Amino acid sequence: MSTFIENQKWRYATKKFDATKKIATKDLETLKEAIQLSTSSYGLQPYKVLIIENPELRAKLQPASWGQTQIVDASHLLVFANSVDVTENEIDNYMANMANTRGLQIEDLKPYSDFMKSKLVNLPKEAKAIWTSKQTYLALGNLLNAAAELKIDVTPMEGFEPEKYNEILGLNTLGLNASLVATLGYRHEEDATQHYAKVRKPNEELFITL
């Protein structure tokens, strides 16, 4: 745990990436697995994660990202895109995956499937989108922690225009919405932000014990 805490103290939201440094394939696969293994309500994972490597595409996304240089300079750009709707079909597919993975009969999962559908399918569309968007932040948390273990910098970003991302990446036709962005790579030695003291609330202000 001491290593984990030290890694949390090491990480920060990198403002300037070293564009000459790229994440090794094996490390990228580890980060992908960390995202895949992330907790998710019901285990449903109602989102996709786009890994944007194409430099021309990233250049198109930069203006929709408030012009931030991390978009083009980081080794990799990840876009977490939440499902804008949760349908019975999506839940059925999840149940089929569960049955196959655990060697169960699909009929045995019907009570759980019916429960999920009763809680999710009939929600107002806006409420569904809010709920699925929240799930992407859980996945981001796993990414941040795994990257810190590998000494890979990650900058979570909400400073972008989702509508333009959706248009550029064709997400609307896929029933997806750009929820949040994360740039991955290695901090530039000239990024002064890395030397700033981490500012956090003191424990007595942050925690309430009842």
Q: What are phi and psi of 206, to 5 degrees?
A: -85, -40
The rounded distance, in Å, linking the Cα atoms of 94 and 123 is 19
> What is the tens place of the pLDDT at every residue in 3-58?
999 999 999 999 999 999 999 999 999 999 999 999 999 999 999 999 999 999 99
Stretch 84-104: mean pLDDT, rounded?
A: 97
Q: Is the pLDDT of residue 1 over 80?
A: no
pLDDT at 2: 75
Structure tokens at 139: 């996945």
Give the start-to-end residue ranges of the domains of the chain. 2-86+123-183
* Statement: 2-86+123-183 belongs to CATH 3.30.450.80: no
User: Which of 181, 157, 151 lies closest to 31, judged by CA?
Assistant: 151
pTM beyond 0.85: the answer is yes
Q: Give mean pLDDT, residues 50-77.
A: 98
Contacts of 170 (CB under 8 A, 6+ apart): none
H or E stretch at 14 = none
Mean pLDDT over each residue of the chain, to the nearest integer = 97
- What the block records as the tokens of 175 is 């029933």
